[in-house]
Structure 1
Amino acid sequence: MELNVLGLTAETEHAYTALVSLPRSTASELADVCGLSAAAAGRLLSQLVKDGLATRFAGRPPRFTATAPDVAVTALIQEREHQLDAARSLVHRLAEAHREANRISHPDIAMELLTDRDDISAAAHRLTADARREVRGFDRPPYVDRPGSNLEAQVQRQRTGVVHRVIYDRAAVAWPGRLHDDILPGVHTGEQARFRAELPLKLVISDNRSAIIPFSLTPGGHSAAYLIHRSPILSALEALFEAEWARAVPLWDAVPRPGADVTKVPSGSGHSQQSDPGTKALLAMLTSGLTDAAIARTQGWSPRTTQRRIHGLISELGASTRFQAAVMAVRRGWL
């Protein structure tokens, strides 16, 4: 029987199927159609009413009408889906407890392999949610979860004093809408962010207790991940992060505050010792290795406008190449 997956017995399903075609039937009328005794039909009708599959009308004898299948059966399906979701949640909790118990029993186990996208997402969220002092990360595509989906939770953690230091790969900054919709709002609420033209891998470190990295650097390698506990491996990842952080371009002073004019790029004599927020933002993107096309996407400029502003900035600094422009910007204290 098709509806037994929803918890209905064969007899209940048979009675409901018959009642669909027999509106306002009595128990005796249903019994005749189903080949049951009137008492058995009455019990089934009571069960149908209890399950929301039928409606009872007052009178002697009482009459019954089937609830519309697209309403009643859909409600049963949704209820079963809720039960399955609860079961899945329990399985995840038990799996986590099982892994933790095995790790405690075998302290030499410093690394776990996660092969399910839901497990990877849950582990990453757990790492950040459990952080009490600091979250550190390398941010680069591809992504398991939609970029920016955890921004609200991050802002709440930052308000409680949890420091967030993130290094963004140029591909992350060039991700459509990412800079203005996710990265800058995080920075303006306390995130310490920096740029690197290219990062070696994706990484999240929670305090100095645990970290998560992709299983492989090849395409599709993010579909599996390593969850790393306190160990020499974790210490090496922490050292890698700090080394990349020292090399990265700071973002906090290189992006415009809310309401600033990000389109302005200075022009003139080239002797100015101050830079406006728009200039700093453009310099940060240039020194991070973003292409003209990526800068145009993040700023909402046309390719021609982007090239004009870049050339104007290089000219303002008295440079002939982008590299020279970066050197001159550092000398002027713009970066």
Structure 2
Amino acid sequence: MELDVLGLGDETERVYTALIDRPRCTASELAGAGGATVAATSRVLTGLVAKGLASRTSSRPPRFSAIPPDVAVTALIQDRQRQLDAARSLVERLTHAHREANRINDPDIAVELLTHREDISEAAYRLTNGARRQVRAFDRPPYVDRPGSNFQHQVRRQRTGVAHRVIYSHDAVSWPGRLLDDILPSVRAGEQARVKGDLPLKLVIRDDDVALIPFSLAPGGHSAAYLVHPSPMLAALEALFEAEWDRAVSLDTTRAEAGGEPVTSGAREAAADRPAHVAPGAPAETGTSDEDTRVLLTLLASGLTDAAIARAQGWSPRTTQRRIQRLMSALDASTRFQAGLAAARRGWI
């Protein structure tokens, strides 16, 4: 019968179906119409009332009516769905416990291969949210989820004292809208960020006990990933991160020269051709706010091309070239390298 999947037996479904056609009937009336005994029909009707499929009057003898199927049966379907969800959640917990038990019992298992996106997402969530001291990461495209979608979670972790050190590739920084909408807000919230031209892989390391890397950076490569536990391989990944960190360029554009106070988001007021609030010692001729100037200098020092800077800042190529020329003129520099040195000497970056 069709309602067996909801836990209703054949007899229950038969009586409920008959009751739909005979509202406000007694058990004996329904039994006579269906050819069953009154005792058996009464027992099924009592069960229908308990399941919310029928109602019963207080008269003697009681009369029964079917609850509308779109209400009663839908409620049973929703209840069964909740039971299935609970079972699915239990299976996930048992799977994780099974995997951890096997790993602990077999110390040779240093690397797990995750081959389903749900497993990878769940592992990434456990990895970052379970950090006690720090999270280290290589950030580079391609992306599975929208960049910055975990920003609020990261801020909450940082408030508990968990440090975040992230190295962004040029492609990550120049990803449209990424710099202003995600990276710089993360830096203001306490993230330590650096930039490097290219990164060999995507990587997340939690404390000193586990790392997650995708199988490859090719299309579809995010459908598999390695979960690396304490081992020489994890030590090598940590050493790789620290080596790249030393070679990367700082992206800390949030501290003003005077007093070292953070620059608030309100400091970003400028239009391309109108000077705004200028940091102490910064030339007003640059035509940008103090934060714009530091960001532009940092991007130049990071080696980004004009086109990449334009994408990162949302400027047109012409506006980007004009701002770079104004900045170099204000610093009396003929090359970008000279501009970086002059800006560093003046404390602008």
Does the CA-based 8 Å contact 1:54-1:67 persist in structure 2? yes
Q: How does 1:96-175 map to 2 (within 5 A)?
A: 96-175=96-175
Give the direction of change, closer, same or farther, for the CA distance of 1:250–1:30 in structure 2 (3 Å limit). farther
Does the CA-based 8 Å contact 1:56-1:62 persist in structure 2? yes
Q: Of 265, 281, 284, which residue of structure 1 is paired with 2:295?
A: 281
Structure 2 residue aligned with 1:263: 270
Give the direction of change, closer, same or farther, for the CA distance of 1:261–1:153 in structure 2 (3 Å limit). closer
Matched, 1:313 2:321: no
Q: CA RMSD in A?
A: 3.1
SS at match of 1:259: helix
SS at match of 2:4: helix
Give the direction of change, closer, same or farther, for the CA distance of 1:34–1:167 in structure 2 (3 Å limit). farther
Matched, 1:252 2:252: yes
Q: How does 1:88-103 map to 2 (within 5 A)?
A: 88-103=88-103
Across the two proteins, how many residue pairs are aligned to each other?
332
- CA offsets, 1:136-188, max 9 Å, x none? 11123334444334333322221221111112234434445444443333222
SS at match of 2:265: coil
Separation in 2, partners of 1:111, 1:23: 64
Matched, 1:44 2:44: yes
- CA offsets, 1:89-144, max 9 Å, x none? 22222222222222222212110011121211111111122211111111233344
Give the direction of change, closer, same or farther, for the CA distance of 1:27–1:228 in structure 2 (3 Å limit). same
Structure 2 residue aligned with 1:193: 193
Does the CA-based 8 Å contact 1:262-1:277 persist in structure 2? no
Structure 1 residue aligned with 2:24: 24
Amino acid at match of 2:294: K
Does the CA-based 8 Å contact 1:113-1:227 persist in structure 2? yes
Separation in 1, partners of 2:316, 2:22: 67
Give the direction of change, closer, same or farther, for the CA distance of 1:68–1:316 in structure 2 (3 Å limit). farther
Amino acid at match of 1:261: R
SS at match of 2:125: helix
Amino acid at match of 1:274: A
Does the CA-based 8 Å contact 1:264-1:279 persist in structure 2? no
Separation in 1, partners of 2:21, 2:300: 72
Does the CA-based 8 Å contact 1:266-1:313 persist in structure 2? no
Does the CA-based 8 Å contact 2:177-2:313 persist in structure 1? no
SS at match of 1:85: helix
Larger radius of gyration: 2
Separation in 2, partners of 1:248, 1:262: 29
Amino acid at match of 2:293: T
Give the direction of change, closer, same or farther, for the CA distance of 1:131–1:95 in structure 2 (3 Å limit). same
Structure 1 residue aligned with 2:236: 236
Structure-2-length-normalised TM-score: 0.82
Structure 1 residue aligned with 2:57: 57
> Once the 2 structures are TM-superposed, how far is the Cα of residue 262 of structure 1 from its aligned partner?
5.0
Give the direction of change, closer, same or farther, for the CA distance of 1:12–1:127 in structure 2 (3 Å limit). same
> Once the 2 structures are TM-superposed, how far is the Cα of residue 202 of structure 1 from its aligned partner?
1.4
Please list every run of 5 or more consecutive structure 1 residues that lacks an aligned counterpart in the other structure: none
> Once the 2 structures are TM-superposed, how far is the Cα of residue 227 of structure 1 from its aligned partner?
0.5
Separation in 1, partners of 2:235, 2:224: 22
Give the direction of change, closer, same or farther, for the CA distance of 1:144–1:267 in structure 2 (3 Å limit). closer
